């Protein structure tokens, strides 16, 4: 046995020593791996994947970055409402420890993303969030920078800032322009909404608006009639709704079918989908649904990006697509500036990001969260109108049309 | 108060349609059918597909979907369940497999997004402070009609008598020349058709997604535990109790708390009266 042992060790050592330049070269030319962790069965997930692919193809066609091409590996986060965070955690662990990705782009459900964070931090892998909105995610960076510095949010605006934008809509448009003084607020019982409803209620009350109903509903709710009855009986003039994982389709259909004499609007994530109006048989008419991106000249790249996505995928994109596309370019630019894919160096460069993407100009604040407001990414309040047309009704500087009432109510 | 009465009646009728089929197949064939929710989902998706893809009129799509799902139920019983019927556990597993297979097939074919099944009637009625769509009233009327039809069928037809005989004593019924295997298939088909009818009637105002069969299965299960496994009157009583309890909680307390009613009902029943209200074998 000994006869073979020493020669074997010698051969192995020689092999290891042989031409380290070759190995470095191989390292430098191997593709940069982007791991996409998302809910692949949902449109938010499919659009994220297709948008990452679109950006990768564009960058690879120009020779990649630092002479290296990009490749994408997708892992399913599952359906948050039924799977919880376990599928997402498994996806992140697979991408980081088995596929050894250089960067993660993804996330949709805040509860799932929060469950994934310790695993991402332990793997010391950069994560560019494009779907989850809870402020608690970026709060981790503030609480323990060294551990969580890899976590960035490109998209969407966090839910606390969304709440503020919604309060501005309530006070500026609904009270200021339309004179409503009594509104109800309902939201699904999910992590990202739990802080929003009390904050919006407080903001509305501070502006002198009466809020008779402020309630949560389960994401599995299949019958909204009791809520509609309560809101109607309360004498509310408008119903603010915050819904993402719950069934927006059922919500608007039941609202329309019962001809509830109260207009609806707020943050309806599925209501952001371009095909939502058709999907519910036109019953979302007059619903105002906050959105981050639509085919409008928000930035010079919005319309060309939108049209290219539609021509490649034969469907219009949702908000995660805008974030995913921007995330690939933001990472590419940071790698270019850092001169390597070394994580700590790229993190430093990501912090200096100033990128104009489809949804707006992206800069990160001290918690690595995307900045919002004039000149940055904005929350647009978009109303479904006749024939599925979408009209921006707020903020004032971006308005593209007049806000209407549902057909069974008198027009303003 | 009127709102609770009306909405409670609608939801109870839907629950009763779901639970009666579920309890029927158990009462007759001792099949605890975990694929019952799949029949409900298939009914809704077939109507969607026949109207949106095949461009058939809605009424024709509904008329076709019910027997098609019924036939699927017969195939499931004949091909998958019958060879395993000696083992309750094997039947449970095979019906669970069918449920998962149907859900995945729907996911692959239609994707995860909710699909729109148009309303059969578009009107909205306003009375005594209640705003209710005609579709919900149709679901109530449809449910009552189907249940009444089932009762008449069971009481006044030879086939109904044969089903009752099998439910009372399968062996004795066989000695009397009643072909039990054929009856089991028929009851499975009937049970599937009733579940499909429920799916079709509620699809215009509910979520049509691949996993839509799960919640109805849970509700049906809760109702038959409360009413007594295998008892049709028990299921109807259970449906009324659960439907009205949920509606009262949703209107008077919070919609968020209404979902806990079924869990609480099952728990209380299992502790206080494990056999349910009418939990005797063959209590039709």
Query: Which of B114, B256, B258 is facing A247, going by the closest CB pair?
Result: B114
What span, in angstroms and rounded, lies between the C-alpha atoms of B198 and B194? 6
Q: Residue B20 domain-assigned?
A: yes
Percentage of chain A surpassing pLDDT 90? 63
pTM of the predicted protein model: 0.75
Percentage of chain B surpassing pLDDT 70? 98
A111 is written with which tokens? Answer: 């509860």
Q: Test B113 with A279 for CB contact under 8 angstroms.
A: yes
A78 band by pLDDT with thresholds 50, 70 and 90:
confident
Q: Residue B50 domain-assigned?
A: yes
Q: Residue B118 domain-assigned?
A: no
> Are A247 and A390 part of one and the same domain?
yes
Percentage of chain A surpassing pLDDT 70? 92
What span, in angstroms and rounded, lies between the C-alpha atoms of A258 and B30? 41
Domain count, chain B: 1
Touching check for A279 and chain B: CB below 8 Å? yes
> How does strand A389-394 pair with strand A380-385?
antiparallel
Say how many C-beta atoms besides its own lie within 10 A of residue A397's C-beta: 8
Q: Residue A4 domain-assigned?
A: no
> Are A173 and A230 part of one and the same domain?
yes
Q: Residue A374 domain-assigned?
A: no
A28 band by pLDDT with thresholds 50, 70 and 90:
low
Provide the pLDDT for residue B284.
Answer: 40
Average pLDDT of A81-89?
81
What span, in angstroms and rounded, lies between the C-alpha atoms of A191 and A236? 26
Q: Test B215 with A229 for CB contact under 8 angstroms.
A: no
pLDDT per residue as tens digits for the range B100-131: 999 999 988 988 778 888 888 888 888 877 88
Q: Test A189 with B211 for CB contact under 8 angstroms.
A: no
Identify all chain A residues contacting B259, using CB atoms and an 8 Å cutoff.
218, 220-221
Touching check for B140 and chain A: CB below 8 Å? no
Q: Test A279 with B114 for CB contact under 8 angstroms.
A: yes
Touching check for A229 and chain B: CB below 8 Å? yes
Q: Residue A76 domain-assigned?
A: yes
B132 band by pLDDT with thresholds 50, 70 and 90:
confident
CA distance A317 to chain B (A): 14
Q: Residue B283 domain-assigned?
A: no
Question: Does residue A226 register a pLDDT over 80?
Answer: yes
- In terms of phi and psi (left: phi > 0; alpha: psi -120 to 50; beta: otherwise), the region of A351 is alpha
Domain that holds residue B28: 2-112+132-272
Identify all chain A residues contacting B209, using CB atoms and an 8 Å cutoff.
247
Q: Lowest-pLDDT range, A276-280, A311-315, B167-171?
A: B167-171
Touching check for B160 and chain A: CB below 8 Å? no
> Are A174 and A303 part of one and the same domain?
no
CATH code for position B86: 1.10.3470
> Are A355 and A257 part of one and the same domain?
no
Among chain B residues, the shortest Cα distance to A81 is held by: B211
Provide the pLDDT for residue A220.
Answer: 79
Q: Residue B255, SS3? A: helix
Q: Test B205 with A254 for CB contact under 8 angstroms.
A: yes
> Are A138 and A225 part of one and the same domain?
no
Question: Does residue B72 register a pLDDT over 90?
Answer: yes
For B117-140, the DSSP string reads PPPS---EEEETTEEEEHHHHHHH
Q: Test B255 with A259 for CB contact under 8 angstroms.
A: no
A83 band by pLDDT with thresholds 50, 70 and 90:
confident
A315 is written with which tokens? Answer: 């469907």
Question: Does residue A6 register a pLDDT over 70?
Answer: no
What span, in angstroms and rounded, lies between the C-alpha atoms of A32 and A21? 19
Q: Residue B73 domain-assigned?
A: yes
Domain that holds residue A244: 160-291+379-398
What span, in angstroms and rounded, lies between the C-alpha atoms of A305 and A294? 11
pLDDT per residue as tens digits for the range A87-106: 999 999 999 999 999 999 99
Question: Does residue A1 register a pLDDT over 50?
Answer: no
Q: Residue B121 domain-assigned?
A: no
Query: Which of A41, A250, A258 is facing B207, going by the closest CB pair?
Result: A250
Q: Which residues contact B106 (CB under 8 A, 6 or more apart)?
A: B41, B42, B45, B210
Provide the pLDDT for residue A214.
Answer: 92
Q: Residue A206 domain-assigned?
A: yes
Q: Residue B152 domain-assigned?
A: yes
> Are A392 and A252 part of one and the same domain?
yes
> Are A192 and A104 part of one and the same domain?
no
> Are A164 and A276 part of one and the same domain?
yes
Question: Does residue B152 register a pLDDT over 50?
Answer: yes
Burial class (CB in 10 A: 0-12, 13-18, 19+), A146: exposed
> Are A259 and A204 part of one and the same domain?
yes
Among chain B residues, the shortest Cα distance to A225 is held by: B7
In degrees, to the nearest 5, what angle opens at C-alpha A390 toward C-alphas A45 and A401?
A: 145
Q: State the number of CA atoms in the 13 A half-sphere of B252 facing the CB.
A: 11
Q: Test A226 with B258 for CB contact under 8 angstroms.
A: yes
> Are A204 and A180 part of one and the same domain?
yes
Q: Residue B127 domain-assigned?
A: no
Identify all chain B residues contacting A314, using CB atoms and an 8 Å cutoff.
none
CATH code for position A39: 3.40.50.2300
Name residue A35's beta-bridge partners: A73, A104
Q: Residue A405 domain-assigned?
A: no
Average pLDDT of A208-230?
89
> Are A267 and A394 part of one and the same domain?
yes
> Are A265 and A324 part of one and the same domain?
no
Average pLDDT of A115-140?
94
Q: Residue A39 domain-assigned?
A: yes
Provide the pLDDT for residue B279.
Answer: 67
Q: Lowest-pLDDT range, A23-27, A189-193, B122-126?
A: A23-27
A25 band by pLDDT with thresholds 50, 70 and 90:
low
Instruction: Give chain B's mean pLDDT.
Output: 88
Q: Residue A286 domain-assigned?
A: yes
Identify all chain B residues contacting A253, using CB atoms and an 8 Å cutoff.
116, 204-205
Question: Does residue A21 register a pLDDT over 70?
Answer: no
Burial class (CB in 10 A: 0-12, 13-18, 19+), B243: buried
For A80-140, the DSSP string reads HHHHTTHHHHHHHHIIIIIS--SEEEE---HHHHHHHHHHHHHTT-EEEESS---HHHHHH
Binding-face residues of B in 211-250 toward A, CB within 8 A: 211, 215, 247, 250
pLDDT per residue as tens digits for the range B212-261: 888 889 888 888 888 887 788 888 998 998 899 888 888 888 877 877 88
Domain count, chain A: 2
Provide the pLDDT for residue B280.
Answer: 59
Provide the pLDDT for residue B60.
Answer: 94
B60 vs A16 pLDDT, higher one:
B60
Q: Residue A268 domain-assigned?
A: yes
Dihedral, CA of residue A98, residue A101, residue A104 and residue A110, to nearest 10: 10
Average pLDDT of A385-407?
90
């Amino acid at each position: 046995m000994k006869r073979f042992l020493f020669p074997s060790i010698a051969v192995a050592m020689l092999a290891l020593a042989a031409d380290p330049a070759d190995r470095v070269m191989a390292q430098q030319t191997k593709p940069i791996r982007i791991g996409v962790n998302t809910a692949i069965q949902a449109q938010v997930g499919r659009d994220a994947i297709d948008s990452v692919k679109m950006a990768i193809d564009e960058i690879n066609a120009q020779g990649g970055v630092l002479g290296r091409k990009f490749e994408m590996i997708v892992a399913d986060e599952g359906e948050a409402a039924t799977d919880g965070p376990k599928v997402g955690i498994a996806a992140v662990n697979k991408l980081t420890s088995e596929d050894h990705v250089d960067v993660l782009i993804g996330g949709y459900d805040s509860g799932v993303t929060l469950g994934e964070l310790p695993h991402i931090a332990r793997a010391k892998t950069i994560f560019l969030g494009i779907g989850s909105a809870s402020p608690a995610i970026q709060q981790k960076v503030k609480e323990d920078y060294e551990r969580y510095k890899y976590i960035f949010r490109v998209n969407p605006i966090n839910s606390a800032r969304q709440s503020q934008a919604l309060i501005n809509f309530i006070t500026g448009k609904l009270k200021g322009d339309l004179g409503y003084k009594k509104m109800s607020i309902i939201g699904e019982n999910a992590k990202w909404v739990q802080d929003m409803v009390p904050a919006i209620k407080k903001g509305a009350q501070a502006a002198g608006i009466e809020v008779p109903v402020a309630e949560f509903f389960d994401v599995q709710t299949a019958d909204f009639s009791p809520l509609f009855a309560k809101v109607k009986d309360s004498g509310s003039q408008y119903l603010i709704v915050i819904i993402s994982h719950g069934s927006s389709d059922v919500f608007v259909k039941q609202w329309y079918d019962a001809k509830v004499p109260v207009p609806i609007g707020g943050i309806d994530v599925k209501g952001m989908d371009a095909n939502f109006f058709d999907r519910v048989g036109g019953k979302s008419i007059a619903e105002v649904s906050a959105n981050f991106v639509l085919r409008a000249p928000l930035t010079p790249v919005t319309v060309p990006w939108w049209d290219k996505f539609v021509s490649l995928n034969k469907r219009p994109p949702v908000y995660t697509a805008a974030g995913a596309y921007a995330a690939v370019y933001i990472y590419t630019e940071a790698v270019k500036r850092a001169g390597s894919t070394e994580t700590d160096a790229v993190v430093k460069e990501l912090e200096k990001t100033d990128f104009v993407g489809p949804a707006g100009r992206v800069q990160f604040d001290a918690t690595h969260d995307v900045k919002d407001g004039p000149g940055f990414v904005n929350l647009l309040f978009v109303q479904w109108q006749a024939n599925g047309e979408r009209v921006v009704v707020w903020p004032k500087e971006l308005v593209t049309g007049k806000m209407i009432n549902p057909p069974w109510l008198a027009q303003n | 108060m009127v709102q609770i009465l009306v909405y409670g009646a609608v939801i109870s009728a839907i629950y009763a349609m779901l639970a009666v089929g579920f309890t029927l197949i158990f009462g007759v064939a001792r099949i605890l059918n975990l694929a019952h929710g799949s029949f409900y989902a298939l009914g809704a998706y077939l109507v969607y597909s026949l109207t949106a893809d095949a461009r058939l009129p809605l009424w024709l799509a509904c008329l076709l979907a019910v027997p098609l799902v019924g036939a699927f139920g017969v195939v499931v019983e004949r091909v998958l369940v019958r060879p395993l019927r000696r083992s309750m556990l094997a039947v449970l597993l095979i019906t669970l497999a069918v449920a998962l297979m149907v859900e995945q097939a729907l996911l692959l074919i239609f994707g995860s997004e909710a699909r729109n099944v148009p309303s059969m009637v578009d009107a909205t009625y306003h009375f005594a402070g209640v705003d209710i769509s005609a579709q919900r009233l149709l679901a109530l009327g449809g449910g009552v009609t189907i249940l009444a039809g089932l009762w008449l069928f069971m009481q006044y037809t030879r086939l109904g008598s044969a089903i009752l005989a099998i439910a009372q004593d399968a062996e004795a019924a066989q000695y009397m020349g009643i072909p039990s295997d054929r009856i089991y298939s028929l009851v499975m088909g009937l049970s599937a058709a009733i579940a499909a009818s429920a799916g079709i009637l509620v699809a215009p105002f509910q979520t049509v997604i691949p996993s839509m069969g799960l919640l109805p299965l849970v509700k049906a299960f809760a109702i038959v535990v409360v009413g007594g496994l295998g008892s049709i009157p028990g299921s109807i009583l259970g449906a009324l109790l659960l439907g009205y309890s949920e509606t009262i909680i949703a209107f008077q307390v919070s919609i968020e708390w209404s979902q806990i009613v079924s869990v609480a009902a099952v728990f209380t029943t299992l502790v206080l009266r494990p056999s349910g209200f009418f939990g005797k074998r063959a209590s039709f």
